[in-house]
A = this chain, B = another copy of it.
Amino acid sequence: MTRRMDPLTAEVVDLFGTVVARYHQEYDAAAAVHHLTGAQARVLALLAPGPLPMRRIAERLKCEPSNITGIVDRLEAQGLAERRTDPADRRVKLAAATEEGSVTAERLRDSLEFAREPLAALSEEERGMLRDLLARMVP
């Protein structure tokens, strides 16, 4: 009943599993430094480029909008985000990073890349190859 699986693919999938687990740990750890959970950090990072309706956040994170309500609540409680009513459509609430939130988001991004740097114990050329391969995988 077992499907034949080419061993190379199996190996790559396994490696991805390991790398993914590691990415998560480091992401959560980096977030914790700023007293954030992983989900809160993800939302804050999403808000960095500019305000976003709650619904858009949910779409990006592939979860229910009701879930975002609580996360933004907690960001707001820490003074990192705020809600504004969209003047163009008073139904929608725009979540926006505060000044402090923007700073935190930037620091978070830096520490993330920094944390992931040793993981990329690869040469410039190898990183380039990796980028190309990964880019092909995300259409």
A residues at B contact (CB < 8 Å): 2-3, 5, 8-13, 15-25, 62, 106, 110, 112-114, 116-117, 119-122, 124, 126-131, 133-139
Which residue of B25, B106, B119, B129 contacts A129 across the interface (Cβ within 8 Å)? B129
Q: Which residues of B contact A121 (CB under 8 A)?
A: 136-137, 139
Q: With both chains docked as a complex, state the minimum distance between the C-beta of A139 and any C-beta of chain B, in angstroms.
A: 8
Q: Which residues of B contact A3 (CB under 8 A)?
A: 110, 114
Q: CA separation between A112 and B11, bound complex, in Å?
A: 12
Contact A133 B129 (CB under 8 A): yes
A12-B131, A126-B133 known, 6 other contacts, Cβ within 8 Å? A3-B110, A9-B116, A16-B23, A20-B24, A122-B137, A130-B130
